[in-house]
């Protein structure tokens, strides 16, 4: 995925309370006395990246100290989890660290900012960290934006990713789609339409701009009214208007397969399928997909 734009307006040092500047000389501390950061926003570190860093540490040592919180039983990691894991992998028993005493919220803020600065978080991890700052520590979006050096709109848009359908969230976490694609998909509310958009992005290789345009069409498309449409056709059988989970399932699968809006209207003896297209190129694509295999 393309790294997100918009630099932070502050560095790690500005998050450390006055009187505890991060520039103090590091000390070598025992690795086995360091426990994990309970507020770590990063959930996954690729094995190959760890192995590469461990090889570098074996050759050159740990070039940048980690940041830890001093506790009664030892130390609690604040920032530098990848370096700590790689150091363990390289067989080190001690690691350079800057030792500080920070409250829980400050630990999360520092870990979050460090990961953002290094572009180490995927968008969902960042969104989950923002939600934790809100739910656990009572910060509103303005507070979060100020603390991590983001624009408030960026924080709000990132938090919206948590409202995506689970399959779309998985695609973001796996890097199958970019954050820009995810934001465009989040602009439609129904999970079925989000999944259809996801299918279009993955199957057709849509750009973010194309995804936004397709989402706009879906948002402005009136919901089908089978009863109203059939009422205008006196000779037609009256449509069945009750909500049918099976119809919804079929619509969802057709949307995902065709990468466009598909509506089913069932009558008592049959029904019809409406497949929409948005321009001539889209019509050609659908024609080839539906008819090409029969030629």
Per residue of the chain (295 residues), give pLDDT as tens.
Answer: 444 544 444 444 444 444 444 445 688 999 999 988 776 666 677 777 788 888 888 888 888 888 888 888 888 888 888 888 889 999 999 999 988 777 667 766 776 666 665 556 788 888 888 888 888 778 888 888 887 778 888 889 889 999 999 999 999 988 899 989 999 999 888 888 888 888 888 888 888 888 888 888 777 665 555 444 444 444 333 333 334 667 777 877 787 777 777 888 777 777 888 888 877 777 888 888 888 755 4
Longest dimension (CA), the chain: 86
Q: How far apart are CA 33 and CA 93, in angstroms?
A: 10
Alpha-carbon gap, residue 198 to 83, rounded angstroms: 35
Give the CA distances from residue 272 to residues 124, 138, 208, in Å, rounded to whole numbers and listed in that order: 39, 51, 32
pTM > 0.75 = no
Question: What is the token pair recorded at 265?
Answer: 């209207």
**Alpha carbons 156 and 159: distance in angstroms, whole number:** 5
Please provide the DSSP assignment of 123-145 as one string. Answer: HHHHHHHHHHHHHHH---HHHHH
- Nearest Cα residue to 288 out of 277, 193, 273, 274: 277
CA 44-59-51 angle, to 5 degrees, is 25
Residue 272's contacts (CB-CB under 8 Å, 6 or more residues apart) are: 264, 265
- Residue 114: per-residue pLDDT: 65
> What was the pLDDT predicted at 119?
54
Annotated domain spans of the chain = 12-151, 176-294
> How far, in Å, are 228, 239, 267, 273 from residue 270 at the CA level?
17, 9, 5, 10
Whole-angstrom Cα distance, residue 184 to residue 161? 10
Token pair in block for residue 32: 């086995």
Q: How many CB atoms lie within 10 A of CB 143?
A: 15
Three-state secondary-structure class, residue 291: helix
- Tokens 């393309």 correspond to what residue? 2
Residue position matching structure tokens 């979006």? 141
Task: Give the active site residues.
Answer: 81
Which CATH architecture group holds 12-151?
Answer: Alpha-Beta Complex (3.90)
pLDDT of residue 32: 92
């Amino acid at each position: 995925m393309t790294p997100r734009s918009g630099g932070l307006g502050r560095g790690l040092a500005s998050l450390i309370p006055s009187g505890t500047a991060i520039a103090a000389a590091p000390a070598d501390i025992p690795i086995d006395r360091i426990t994990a950061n309970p507020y770590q926003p990063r959930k996954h570190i690729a094995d190959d990246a760890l192995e590469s860093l461990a090889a570098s540490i074996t050759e050159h040592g740990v070039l940048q100290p980690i940041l830890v919180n001093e506790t009664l039983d030892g130390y609690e990691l604040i920032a530098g989890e990848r370096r700590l894991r790689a150091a363990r992998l390289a067989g080190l028993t001690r690691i350079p660290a800057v030792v500080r005493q920070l409250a829980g919220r400050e630990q999360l803020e520092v870990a979050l900012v460090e990961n953002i600065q290094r572009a180490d978080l995927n968008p969902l991890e960042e969104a989950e960290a923002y939600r934790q700052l809100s739910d656990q520590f009572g910060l509103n979006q303005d507070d979060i934006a100020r603390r991590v050096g983001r624009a408030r709109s960026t924080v709000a848009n990132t938090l919206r990713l948590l409202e995506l359908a689970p399959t779309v969230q998985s695609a973001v976490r796996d890097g199958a789609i970019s954050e820009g694609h995810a934001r465009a998909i989040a602009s439609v509310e129904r999970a079925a339409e989000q999944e259809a958009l996801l299918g279009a992005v993955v199957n057709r290789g849509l750009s973010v701009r194309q995804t936004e345009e397709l989402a706009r069409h879906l948002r402005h498309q009136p919901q089908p009214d089978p009863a109203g449409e059939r009422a205008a056709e006196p000779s037609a059988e009256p449509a069945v208007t009750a909500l049918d989970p099976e119809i919804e399932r079929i619509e969802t699968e057709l949307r995902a397969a065709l990468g466009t809006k598909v509506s089913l209207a069932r009558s008592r003896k049959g029904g019809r399928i409406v497949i929409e297209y948005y321009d001539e190129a889209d019509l050609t694509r659908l024609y080839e997909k539906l008819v090409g295999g029969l030629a």
